[in-house]
Amino acid sequence: MNVYDSDRMSELLAPFGYEPTFVPDNADMVILNTCHIREKASEKLFSELGRLRVLKKRRASMGKRMIITVAGCVAQAAGEEIIRRIPQVDIVVGPQTYHRLPELIVRAERAVNGQILYTDFPVEPKFDHLPSARHVRGVSAFLTVQEGCDKFCTFCVVPYTRGAEYSRPVADLIIEAEGLVEKGVREIVLLGQNVNAYHGVFDDVQVSSLSKLIERLADIEGLARIRYTTSHPRDMDVALIEAHGKVPALMPSLHLPVQSGSDRILGKMNRGYSVDDYLRLVDRLRTSCPDIALSSDFIVGFPGETEVEFEATMTLVKQIGFAQAYSFKYSSRPGTPAASLGNHVDEAVKGERLLTLQALLSDQQHKFNDSMIGRRLEVLLEKPGRYPRQLVGRSPYLQPVHVVSKDDAVPPRIGELIKVEITGSCPNSLAGVLDTNVDGDGIEKENFV
């Protein structure tokens, strides 16, 4: 979501003469768009600000200005501390207020010594004030459909930094999606902190669920693939489960964080489902879409987690079999309810549990990738590879696929959907050759580029 937000900031500032530069030394303004989910997010921010402080001083000695802006969730959570500790920071702006950046920059330019802290949760929807996407990075694009979260998992800062759940209206999303497709986008990834809680209005009165939104987006000509992330198990309704079986554009992969395999720990996390609920949900998803590839998030060493409870997580992973997963040691986030829980698990124990879990998850990922060898997969080509006649794309299951075409074949182009025969697998990717049995040159009938 920060990638999406950073692009919107860039587009917002373009009419005021700003354009992106990759060299901070030359920048009239630097925006650090921060994420609070990562461990030690604040420390990383302050060390980066230390470097920028030196650059700003150097530019000042040449009579040039550098506006330093801190945006994103660390800005929201630690704005006052940033202002207090780093006087060289000009603007601190939260994730719900960055649409006001142009006005804040004018204020910062006029201020002699003033710093601006703007981390309210404004009444006006931010998206009404943002320009639509002007530039696209490639054939796959993000589209934020929902922001914020009302779930209040006890370990998570999102409800405090991104605020309450907000869903964008269907009509706005259709317009933005059509604009992306006109610019060559073939795949849209719908984003939200709690994306399947989406409940945007359409026709001014009715409320659309995520499944209805997906069905509408699937009608856009030229849009080949739809994905969505990140989902909460509690919000996987019947219609969304069924959409995986009946909407061809909806890809058979789903990130569905479970976090733990222990009911007691899930309760302490305030996740709102049991292990049985999750297992039943996976069964229903696999009934609707038998080849769906599941990925998940895990936290090991949540306060009070016993060895038996950790083993329950291992059992759950073995029962389900994940195509991919993210796993972390629990680390407390200031201000969250879990941060004040006692009975913290020893760091060394957490480390051992994480290694054990990751070995199992990595083994499952290898097996999943190996199971693709010999299959013909539809691949959306995204970028050139490192070698001649090589392109890199993604399988329906989200795996990167390195594709080579034969010397005598017409090479396919980026943005095309092609059939690829999978010939090899690595831990994180697949290798394949252009399937020459499809339409003579391996390229499917439709050629969109």
Q: Select from 52-60, 127-135, 148-156, 427-435 the region that touches ligand SF4 (CB under 6 A).
A: 148-156
CB 131 within 8 A of CB 88: no
Given 58, 152, 321, 347, the residue binding ligand SF4 (CB under 6 A): 152
Given 108, 153, 214, 381, the residue binding ligand SF4 (CB under 6 A): 153
38 or 406: CB nearest ligand SF4? 38
Can residue 232 be called a binding residue for ligand SF4 (CB under 6 A)? yes
Given 12, 86, 108, 156, the residue binding ligand SF4 (CB under 6 A): 156
CA distance linking residue 77 with residue 292, whole number of Å: 37
168 or 232: CB nearest ligand SF4? 232
Tokens of 365: 């990922």
Site for ligand SF4 in 348-407 (CB under 6 A): none
16 or 152: CB nearest ligand SF4? 152
Can residue 326 be called a binding residue for ligand SF4 (CB under 6 A)? no
All residues at 6 or more sequence positions from 322 whose CB lies less than 8 Å from its CB, including other chains: 294, 295, 296, 361, 364, 365, 368
Please report, for residues 91, 126, 420, the alpha-carbon distance to residue 129 in angstroms, rounded to integers and kept in the order given. Answer: 19, 6, 43
Given 53, 107, 129, 151, the residue binding ligand SF4 (CB under 6 A): 151
Q: Would you say the C-alpha torsion 319, 264, 241, 379 has a positive or negative sign?
A: negative
157 or 381: CB nearest ligand SF4? 157
Can residue 149 be called a binding residue for ligand SF4 (CB under 6 A)? yes
Greatest distance between any 2 Cα atoms in the chain = 69
CA distance linking residue 9 with residue 130, whole number of Å: 8
Q: CA torsion, points 53, 55, 57, 61, in degrees to nearest 10?
A: 180
Q: Select from 87-95, 154-162, 396-404, 427-435 the region that touches ligand SF4 (CB under 6 A).
A: 154-162
Neighbouring C-alpha atoms within 13 Å toward the C-beta of 386: 2
CA distance linking residue 26 with residue 48, whole number of Å: 16
Site for ligand SF4 in 157-176 (CB under 6 A): 158-159
Site for ligand SF4 in 177-206 (CB under 6 A): 193-194
Can residue 295 be called a binding residue for ligand SF4 (CB under 6 A)? no
What is the nearest approach in angstroms of ligand SF4 to the Cβ of residue 346? 24
What is the nearest approach in angstroms of ligand SF4 to the Cβ of residue 155? 7
12 or 190: CB nearest ligand SF4? 190
DSSP string, 288-325: HSTTPEEEEEEEES-TT--HHHHHHHHHHHHHH--SEE
72 or 396: CB nearest ligand SF4? 72
What is the nearest approach in angstroms of ligand SF4 to the Cβ of residue 299? 9
CA distance linking residue 10 with residue 7, whole number of Å: 5
DSSP string, 333-350: -TTSGGGG-S-PPPHHHH
CB 384 within 8 A of CB 414: yes
158 or 417: CB nearest ligand SF4? 158
For residue 218, what is the DSSP state? H
11 or 235: CB nearest ligand SF4? 235
What is the nearest approach in angstroms of ligand SF4 to the Cβ of residue 188? 21
- Contacting residues toward ligand SF4, per CB under 6 A: 149, 151-153, 156, 158-159, 193-194, 232
